[in-house]
Amino acid sequence: MMEPYKIKAVEPIPTTTRRKRERLIREAGYNVFNLAAEHVTVDLLTDSGTSAMSDRQWSRLMVGDESFAGSRSFFRLQKTVREIFGYRHLIPVHQARAAEHLLFTALVKPGDVVPSNMFFDTTRANVEHRGGRTVDLVIQEAYDPRCDYPFKGNIDLKRLHRLLDTESPERLPLAVLTITNNNGGGQPVSLANITEASKLLTAKGIPLYFDACRFAENAFFIKERERDQAQSSIAEIVAKIFACGQGCLVSAKKDGLANMGGFLATQNEKLAERVKEMLLLIEGFPTFGGLAGRDMEVMAVGFREVIDERYLSFRIGQVRELGEKLLAAGIPVLLPFGGHAVYVDAKAFLPHVPAEQFPASALSAALYVEAGVRAAEVGSLSGSHRDPESGQTVNPAMELLRLSVPRRVYTSAHLDVAVEALKKIYRRREKLRGLKVVHKGEILGHFTARLEVL
Ligand SMILES: Cc1ncc(COP(=O)(O)O)c(C=O)c1O
């Protein structure tokens, strides 16, 4: 397996001593989000906004049209979005959560119900911020880290059917399919499942929107795993996916191969007009949203580069190789490996640390101390919620440590640093202790939370 690109610019990687890292993680409240990047050696915290741009993307920076109104760069991006995603109306934003805010503000009223396969943190928070209720309907297999079902991002069609039968359509303003399902392990949704879900929703007049941050990776899995799609090109599969919905919100920081940017796209003209008014209020003029012209140029190139099959084959292969090395070392990992990340099963790794003591956060801190590798907690720190009826804290089904692989940034040798470190920690895993929260904010509090070792 060979990188399908040459490396043209390099950036030095910081190194630190173990002693220093022990101090730094303590000062960071055992939350790797609080660390300065200059103290991180291999940064697998996120694949968001961390891609390396291509020479073609860098060259477009000079071409960006920075006109306030009617920028050429907007029309170039609009053409790209229409060709690849098939949606007519484009609303550029600085990143996807602004698109979430705009879409849900326009559609969701207090008391509404919004079903999904599984919401990502910010999409969920934006629905709830509007007083809406989010319902995750991902298939049961998604909650079993050892089950290697090929489309663990699928929505459970029976449960969707039941929800559509029990809730009044006025209470259901839209449904969201997250492709790939980040919080469920970067798992894809099959085209067959998307098609069926779309039929059920259309029959009730409920629009389907995609949270399509990793649409190209999802399309690659469809080509690889869904037999009747093996002969289709990635572009054809992408077109088939989006033809099932009425619009999408996209973070260009993932499959846009850009460091910043995103958009909302829709077929619904009235909605687009309403959203553009709000865009003026919070982001900017409709032909730039929250972006510079050059950012839109970079996105337009990125969306074309990402649907290249050679690129995707290497990308998915590199993540898979990381997962296979961990699996071969006996480290419990979520199967199958995700598109953008490998998720270590922290519950199985640290069975003596209960969810209330944040095993994935404890593992994340240990990984940083061991080798300066940063990875993200996807477990009870970020995913627990209070049950509105009982008032009890409900922890998520899985405790995961997500090793996200930035696009076109690291080689196998870099990823091996994480593998070797996790092997060492696994050998002395009984010694690891849980954590307790000493500070956590109300909204998306895990990003800035501070913890202490128990
Ligand atoms: C599935 C999913 N949806 C939405 C978002 C939010 O995107 P952004 O960071 O551009 O606001 C993310 C970011 O990680 C994501 O993974």
Centre of ligand 1 from the C-alpha of residue 454, in Å: 32
Centre of ligand 1 from the C-alpha of residue 157, in Å: 24
- Give me the percent of the chain exceeding a pLDDT of 90: 96
Look up residue 96 and give its two tokens: 């996807």
Cβ of residue 180 lying under 6 Å from some atom of ligand 1? no
Domain ranges within the chain, ordered by starting residue: 18-47+309-453, 55-306
CA distance 149 to 144: 10
CA distance 137 to 143: 11
CA distance 214 to 160: 23
Residue to substitute in 254, 260, 282, 295 for testing ligand 1 pocket (most ligand atoms within 8 angstroms of CB):
254
Q: Per CATH, is 55-306 categorized as 3.40.630.40? A: no
pLDDT digits (tens, 9 = 90+) for 239-293: 999 999 999 999 999 999 999 999 999 999 999 999 999 999 999 999 999 999 9
73 and 293 in contact (C-beta within 8 Å)? yes
Angle 178-182-188 (CA atoms, 0-180°, nearest 5)? 60
- Going by the DSSP 8-state scheme, the letter that residue 317 receives in this structure is H
Cβ of residue 262 lying under 6 Å from some atom of ligand 1? yes
Average pLDDT over residues 2-14: 95
Residue nearest to atom 13 of ligand 1 (CA): 48
In CATH, what number does 18-47+309-453 get?
3.90.1150.10
Look up residue 220 and give its two tokens: 């690659």
Cβ of residue 263 lying under 6 Å from some atom of ligand 1? no
Average pLDDT over residues 54-71: 98
Centre of ligand 1 from the C-alpha of residue 294, in Å: 21
For residue 365, the model assigns a pLDDT of 98
- Going by the DSSP 8-state scheme, the letter that residue 206 receives in this structure is P
Residue nearest to atom 5 of ligand 1 (CA): 96
Residue nearest to atom 3 of ligand 1 (CA): 120
Centre of ligand 1 from the C-alpha of residue 96, in Å: 6
- Look-up: residue for tokens 């050998």? 427
Residue to substitute in 129, 181, 213, 214 for testing ligand 1 pocket (most ligand atoms within 8 angstroms of CB):
213
For residue 443, the model assigns a pLDDT of 82
Instruction: Map residue 114 onto helix, strand or coil.
Output: strand
Averaged pLDDT score across all residues of the chain: 97
In ligand 1, the atom with minimum distance to the C-alpha of 95 is 10
For residue 386, the model assigns a pLDDT of 82
Centre of ligand 1 from the C-alpha of residue 249, in Å: 9
**How many CB atoms sit inside 10 A of residue 135's CB?**
18
Q: In which band, very low, low, confident or very high, does the pLDDT at 300 lie, cut at 50, 70 and 90?
A: very high
Task: Mention every residue, 6+ apart, whose C-beta is less than 8 A from residue 192.
Answer: 226
pLDDT digits (tens, 9 = 90+) for 309-354: 999 999 999 999 999 999 999 999 999 999 999 999 999 999 999 9
pLDDT digits (tens, 9 = 90+) for 132-191: 999 999 999 999 999 999 999 999 999 999 999 999 999 999 999 999 999 999 999 999
Residue 301 has pLDDT above 80, yes or no: yes
Centre of ligand 1 from the C-alpha of residue 149, in Å: 24
CA distance 167 to 373: 46
For residue 444, the model assigns a pLDDT of 82
In ligand 1, the atom with minimum distance to the C-alpha of 98 is 11
Residue 199 has pLDDT above 80, yes or no: yes
Q: In which band, very low, low, confident or very high, does the pLDDT at 445 lie, cut at 50, 70 and 90?
A: confident
In ligand 1, the atom with minimum distance to the C-alpha of 262 is 10
- Look-up: residue for tokens 């007049």? 205
Centre of ligand 1 from the C-alpha of residue 367, in Å: 24
CA-to-CA separations, 189 to 113, 139, 180, 344, in angstroms, rounded = 21, 10, 7, 21
CA-to-CA separations, 431 to 89, 353, 366, 378, 425, in angstroms, rounded = 55, 11, 11, 22, 9
202 and 167 in contact (C-beta within 8 Å)? no
Residue (of 321, 316, 312, 313) closest to 416 by Cα position: 321
In ligand 1, the atom with minimum distance to the C-alpha of 253 is 10
Cβ of residue 211 lying under 6 Å from some atom of ligand 1? yes
In ligand 1, the atom with minimum distance to the C-alpha of 211 is 3
Residue to substitute in 134, 138, 189, 251 for testing ligand 1 pocket (most ligand atoms within 8 angstroms of CB):
251
Centre of ligand 1 from the C-alpha of residue 427, in Å: 34
Cβ of residue 122 lying under 6 Å from some atom of ligand 1? yes
Q: Over the range 231-253, which residues count as b (16 or more CB within 10 Å of their CB) and which as e?
A: ebebbebbbbbbebbbbbbbbbb
Q: Is 320 exposed, middle or buried (0-12, 13-18, 19+ CB in 10 A)?
A: middle
